[in-house]
Structure 1
Amino acid sequence: MSRIRRRQDSPSDIRLEIFPVPGIPEVQEGDDVGKLISAAMPDLRDGDILVVTSKVSSKAEGRTRRGLTRVEAVAAETTRVVARRGETVIAQTAHGFVMAAAGVDASNTEPGTVVLLPVDPDASAAAVRTSIKERLGVSVGVVVSDTFGRPWRNGQTDMAIGVAGVTPMLDYRGMSDDHGNALEVTMTAVADEFAAAGDLVKGKLAQTPVAVIRGMAEYTTEEDGPGVRELVRQSEDDMFRYGSRDVLFARRTVRGFSAEPVDGAKVRRAVEAAIAAPAPHHTTPWRFVLLESPEIRVKLLDAMREAWIADLHGDGFSEEAIARRVKRGDVLRAAPYLVVPCLVMDGSHTYRDDRRNTAEREMFVVAAGAGVQNLLVQLAVEGLGSAWVSSTMFCRDVVREVLDLPPGWDPMGAVAVGRPAAPPRDRAPRQADDFIVTR
């Protein structure tokens, strides 16, 4: 990421030109896009920045598909569905872009075909740049652009999906404004600004897929540069990673954790989500014990293991079988953070017969489960992995004693929390219809 210096010239000295490149023919597979641009605009200059619609690179690189519906193409290009409303799908691509229809386009292409994004848009930009350098002897910057929608804003704009020879991002952090205020988070996505500026003159219907931006040579570089990756926010920094469609599916059981410490503030935000769960009689039947001390975690798990082994011996299990079962608790030992959710029956009703009393407790248990589910989902939204393990339910007295909990707090398992050491395995395929009975 480039650090920018203040301009020495005044704004009145800046002259910026943006104009389309006419005369580029319909691009076919195998075409050299740089050659086509050079022929159409032979008077390109050093420091010019070209904004090239991604579709021309896609067509030249054989990314047109025939006999594939748009829905099928979107599914094939999607690595993660972020949101869905009707037939509109916002999806993440293998590049890391989050965009409508995973970038699949059925416009400005022959009927019965769809166009996919380039496999490596940075390489596409670099290839155009190299070709123009070889033919015209000038060094230009290249931005490959595509259309994106934006959260909280109507309408679309072009953004950069590939960059070569252009500084993609400017970092103003640490500088001061004219009032002496320190700039702490200001970073400008100049490659996206160039993409949007180029789209003003290319248009969507004029079939002019290339624009030239002249007067911004200071933003060009000798080398191809880092490409578009500076503009793609990493998942751990993405506050809006999960859309409405897949937020529940973000929760996965994680059994291997890295040694990275867990931010307790994230866990507390997950508890805020947990206590938003429904509960009977306007009660609050949840309590959450956060085990942030390594010493208390080890003390609890050691005591639980001893109780578990004693129970298994009493049940007549062999030493080998006991060892296998006890090993299941390793997921709790591997986690850098534990949460023990507890059920409290404050506010519950007492009835004359056991049937209704049993139903009353079951209502509270269901509410506790809803709270735990909310906790697990919000942990995933916070970028943390988790695993709910039921073991504390088999030695409640031991847990209450070690953690010094009130007699009315009923431990409902334990939740291992941490950064996943590896991506979780794919879910077993399940179809909703297999679990539905209609009357």
Structure 2
Amino acid sequence: MRRATPVLSALLCTALVAASAGCGNSGSSSDSADGGVLNLVTANHPWTEAVKSLGLLDEYQKATGTKVSIESFAEDQLTQQLTVKLNAPNSEIDVVMYRPPQEGRQFVLNGWLVELADLTKDGAFDWADFQDGPRGTVTIDNKVYGAPIVTEREILYYRKSLLRQKGIEVPKSLDDLVAAAQKLDDKPGGVAGFIARGKQANAVTQFSSYLYGYGGDFIKDGKSAINTPEAIKAFDVYGSLLRDYGPRPADATLQMNWPEALAVFVQGKAAMYTDADSIVAGMLDKQKSKITDDLGFAPFPAGPAGARPYQVASWALGVSAKAPHAAAAKRFISWIASKDNVLKLQQKAVPGPRLSAWSSADGTKGFPAEYVAALNATMKLTTTDHDRPQVVGVARSREIVGSVIVASIQGKDVAAAAAAADKDLTEFLKTDGK
């Protein structure tokens, strides 16, 4: 491989000497890519498409002589592929794109990812510039295993005209949210007061901000915490919002993940919607959305414990523990997740992990000003770095927690449902990761 340009060398040749023999072209398989090839496996995701459309991989190859070979899969297929390939005796994968909230603990427990302490200690990489929540998401047992590349927070979306017509201020608390949903609910006129995810496992991530706002969590001190008074209150409020003020029939929301809930909202059939900030593109597309010019954004409302919405790294890059070119893989991650590249990717509507990008006019010009204000306000809150139970068997834990959400939407005894789910989660935790 030929040497990097001076500018790129400044990004690449930093504190990574601890993981390599230096930043020259040493020729060792751990420090450079044999034949000039680094293998990257990613999801079919807007981040991946933006990297390609910006020509970043070509830029990297021209500067360093290293070709980055990229292979992409649909999300579920990606997990299956990584589970097989990272476990293989002779894996050829160097860099992996993975979902820290969903797969992080499993991958670390299995020994599939290496710690990235050298990156976080690298002054040029500037770990402090990454948002607190996403940094926490990629940290397990006080060790960092990934570099965040895509972030997500829960915010409140609302119809400006409908709130204005009713003389309602934008809800700042969960009590305000319930009161506003009641006043805005006009199902005879075809507009529900509120919409959100109601499908069992899928609803858990967005329910989490309600849970934290009421002072609860999924697990505390290694034990199930979904049968506490705080959790029961959160289940009751989330379920009653959909049951009383959501679309009819109420059971229809039980089939709603975010695409279904979003479709209801953009067709003008709901007044308010709490969900991830990352789905905003579907609301801004005037060919698909009837409410683009009537769209408002606000930080997630506060509960008795304050406003504590989740803020996570929904996607990150990690280095395979069996990477043929581990040091080269770290240098690539340091470069692709640098301030300059995160800014470029954010200009392609990929919500990035760096504070500097969100405080930059160049980094925010593609987003509505009120949306940017809501995100920047959220970043200053006491956000929570997980949006689902922090376990290895995430899928099963979400089904358990989601069963209480379903019971609440159906108007069943929430306390009884929480008690039953608590027993299931307690039993699950005894064997999780073992």
Say yes or no: TM over 0.5: no
Greater relative contact order structure (CA < 8 Å, 6+ sep): 2
For this structure pair, what is the TM-score category when the shorter chain's length is used for normalisation? under 0.3
Taking structure 2 as the reference length, the TM-score comes to: 0.22
More strand by share: 1
Give 1 or 2: higher helix fraction.
2
Give me the TM-score of the superposition, normalised by structure 1: 0.22
Larger Cα-atom Rg: 1
